[in-house]
Amino acid sequence: MVESISSSRVSSAARPSKSKRRPYHIIIFARTQAGIKNLYRLITESYLTHFNRFPIIPKSLLIKHRAGLLIGSACEAGEVWQAGEVAFDNLRRKMIGGFTHRLP
């Protein structure tokens, strides 16, 4: 049973500089009581420490407090969806590459 839901943005820790990071939308479901506690911890930390025009949850903080949480991509602007689009485009280019001289 899902107890609580939150939608926020997560910045990727692999990006070079803090100001250049691109945040992604995520959705978080708390599965357990510990998950609710971790969800509140993430929300509080994002508003108090990592607020920059909107609350941001760093990926390192999300990994640290992920116990009892279900984390997913909230929309097509999410990190998972974007990675899938890039992989699909690369696959498409490989498959069509021998049959055309120029790809869009």
Q: Residue-wise pLDDT tens for the chain (104 aa)?
A: 444 444 555 555 454 566 566 777 888 999 999 999 999 999 999 999 988 888 989 989 999 999 999 988 777 767 767 777 777 777 777 766 655 555 45
Supply φ then ψ for residue 21, to 5 degrees: -65, 145
Give CA separation, 25 vs 28, 87, 97, 103, in Å. Answer: 10, 19, 33, 30
* Long-range own/partner contacts, residues 15-20 (CB < 8 A, 24 or more apart): none
Q: What is the pLDDT of residue 94?
A: 75
Judge if pTM exceeds 0.95: no
Rounded to whole angstroms, the Cα distance separating 47 from 91 reads 40
